Structure 1
Amino acid sequence: MLTVCWAAKGGSGTTVVSCALALLGAATRGPTWLIDLAGDAPAALGMAEPAKSGVHDWVLSAAPVQTIESIGIAAAEGLLLIARGGSSAPPERARWADLGQVLAASPVNVVVDAGSGVPPPGLVDAAQHRLLVTRPCYLALRRAAASAVTPTGVVVVHEPGRALRAQDVAYAVQAPVVAEISLDPAVARAVDAGLLASRLPRTLSVALSELAV
C-alpha cells in the first residue's frame, strides 16, 4: 500500500506525521518503507545524513525499478528509509509514475514524505492514500484548495489561537479529516533529541493509530 503525505505550506508537520505513520506501520503491519522526498526524515529519526544515493538520484538514473530497495537503510525495526539523495528530480519526470505503480502494487507498506508543495503527479496519482497534512491556517487551506492534487484524507495539526475547526478544513479542501493532532511540546522534544524512532510520543501514536492499521 502506498501513502503519500504532503503539505500545501511549509511548517505543517509533514515529516513528523510521515515518520510517525511509517514507525506505526512497521510496528503493526510489518515491513515498511519511508521514502523521503524532502530531506528531513533522517534528522527527525535521529539518524546521520545518509551517504548513499537517494530516491531523487534513482529517478534520474536508468536503474531497474526493482533496485529501489537497494538504496534503503535501516531506520528502525521493520523500517527501511530511502533518503532524498543529492539530486533533485523534476516532478514531471516519467520515472516517478513507474515508481508509483511499483510501490502501489508492492506488499510492503510504503509511506512517502513529499514535503510541501505539489508532489510528483505520477507518484501521487498511484497512491491508495493521499494525505494532506495541514494546520487550520487560512493561507495554507487557500493554497491546498487551489492545488491540482485532491487528497483522500486530511491530517489536521491543531495549534492554539486558530479560529478554523476541523470541519472548516474538510469543507475547504473537499476531503474528510482522518486524523487530528494537538500541538504537543513532547513531539518537538522527541524530534530535537533524535528520539522519534525509539520513543514515539503518545500524542502521535494515538492520533495516527487508525491510519497505520
Structure 2
Amino acid sequence: MRPDNHIIIMWGSKGGAGTSVTAAAAALHETKQVLVVDLDGDTAPILGIERSRNRLGSNDWLADRNVEPARLTELIDDVDDTTRVLPAGMARDIRYADPHRVEQLAGWISEQPGIVIVDAGTGPPPQALIDIADRNIMVTRADYLALTNPEITAARPDEIVLVNEPGRAITKRDIELTMKAPVNTVIDLDPVVARSVDAGMFLGNRGLQRATSDLINPNITPDRLREPEIDYGMRWTSNTTDGSFRISYNPGTHQLTATNNVTHSTQTLGRYDDIASVDRALEGWADKHNDGGGLDWLEEQVGVDAPDFDGPSDLAGVPTAHAAPSPPPPTRELGISLA
C-alpha cells in the first residue's frame, strides 16, 4: 500500500502564482526519494535542468502516441541524492493533451516509488491526474482576477498554498470561503527567491531555505492536517477600549481570541467546537468589524464583559454556552505534505 503522500498534484490559479517554485522547493526540502514530474516547463529549469531543443520530456511523450509509458523513465534526470525530475520538454498545456495519453501518464505516475510531485501548470488539471492524486493542491496569490475566474472557483482542490504578498485586500478566509478548501500553507513572498531563480542559483540558496521553511515535515500525513486559523479581521475597535484588535479562531485549540494590534497581548473570547459555531455566534460580523463599536458588538454576541485588553489575560476562564471541545490535534510544522 502506497504512503498517504505518494502523489501530490500542484496547479496554479493563474500564471505566475508560484506553482513551479513551490513544487521545486517542496522537492528539495523532502528527505525521502521524490520524483518531480514537470508538465508546465518551468520546474525542471528551476531545479537546474537546462532547457534545450534536444531535451525530450513528458510533453514530447504525450504528443507521440507510439511511445510506451515505460520509456518515460529514460527521460528522468537526477537533481541530487534524493530528487529526480522528469522535464516537460516541449512546453504544452496538459489540459489540451490527448486524454488517452494523459490516462497512460497517470498510470505510470501511480507506479512510481517514493513521493511524486506533479507540476500540472495553470488551471485545474485533467481528471485523470486528479483521480490518482493523494493531494490535489492549488497554489495561488490573493489575486482577485484569479479567484473570480469561474473555472477556478468551480474547481475543488483538497487544499490551498497561499503565496502571501503584502498589501493585498483579499484575506486567507476570503480565499477559503471562495474555494471551499482550507489554506493549509502560507509562504511569504520573498524577493530573495525570485532573484535566485533569475540568477539560476535556486539550488542550495539559503534565502530559499528560510522563505520556504514551513514546507518541511515529511512525517505528517493528511489525516493529521492542521486546520488553518480563521481571521475575522484586523480593525475591530471599541467605544470603551483604546486601540484596534485582530479577531481570530484557531480550530486546533478551539479558541476565539482578540489580539491587540499594538501590544500583541491576546485575550480569549470563548471556546467553540468548530468554525460553524463561531460563524453562528458572529453572524453579521462583516458589517460590524469596521465600526467604532464593533468590538463592543462582538463581546455582546459571545456573552462576555468588555475586557482590559492592555492588562493580564482575564478571560481565560470565561464560560460559554458551547460544549467543551475535544482535545486539540497534535501540533506540527507544515511539510512536504504542504498542509
Provide the TM-score with structure 1 as the length reference.
0.88
Structure 1 window deviating more from structure 2 (126-135 vs 148-157): it is 148-157
Partner of 1:49: 51
Structure 1 window deviating more from structure 2 (166-175 vs 191-200): it is 191-200
* Matching of residues 52-71 of structure 1 within 5 Å: 52-61=55-64, 62-71=66-75
CA distance in 1 between partners of 2:203 and 2:71 (Å): 26
Structure 1 window deviating more from structure 2 (14-23 vs 90-99): it is 90-99
CA distance in 1 between partners of 2:113 and 2:47 (Å): 24
Structure 1 window deviating more from structure 2 (50-59 vs 194-203): it is 194-203
Q: CA deviation at 1:140?
A: 1.1
Partner of 2:38: 36
Contact kept, 8 Å, 2:8 with 2:118, in 1: the verdict is yes
Partner SS state of residue 8, structure 2:
strand
CA deviation string 1:9-43 (max 9, x = no partner):
11111110011111122xx12x2111111111233
CA distance in 1 between partners of 2:160 and 2:199 (Å): 28
Partner of 1:153: 159
Alignment coverage as a number of residue pairs: 210
Query: Which has the greater radius of gyration?
Result: 2
* Matching of residues 72-87 of structure 1 within 5 Å: 72-86=76-90
The 3 A distance-change label for structure 1 pair 205 and 94 is same
CA distance in 2 between partners of 1:159 and 1:147 (Å): 21
CA deviation string 1:116-158 (max 9, x = no partner):
1232321232111111000011211122664553211100011
CA distance in 1 between partners of 2:47 and 2:152 (Å): 32
CA distance in 1 between partners of 2:141 and 2:132 (Å): 25
Is residue 2:121 matched to residue 1:118? no
The 3 A distance-change label for structure 1 pair 144 and 134 is farther
Partner of 2:20: 15
What amino acid does structure 1 have at the position aligned with 2:142?
P
Contact kept, 8 Å, 1:37 with 1:114, in 2: the verdict is yes
What amino acid does structure 2 have at the position aligned with 1:22?
A
Q: Unpaired runs of 5+ in structure 1? A: none
Q: Unpaired runs of 5+ in structure 2? A: 1-5, 217-333
CA deviation string 1:143-182 (max 9, x = no partner):
2664553211100011111111212111110111110011
Partner of 2:266: none
Is residue 2:108 matched to residue 1:108? no
Query: Which is bigger in relative contact order (C-alpha 8 A, separation at least 6)?
Result: 1
CA distance in 1 between partners of 2:165 and 2:9 (Å): 23
Q: CA deviation at 1:53?
A: 1.4
Structure 1 window deviating more from structure 2 (43-52 vs 105-114): it is 43-52
What amino acid does structure 2 have at the position aligned with 1:43?
P
CA distance in 2 between partners of 1:154 and 1:94 (Å): 28
What amino acid does structure 1 have at the position aligned with 2:86?
I
% of aligned pairs identical? 32
Partner of 1:208: 215
Partner SS state of residue 154, structure 1:
strand
CA distance in 2 between partners of 1:155 and 1:105 (Å): 26
CA deviation string 1:92-124 (max 9, x = no partner):
521212222332343221111112123232123
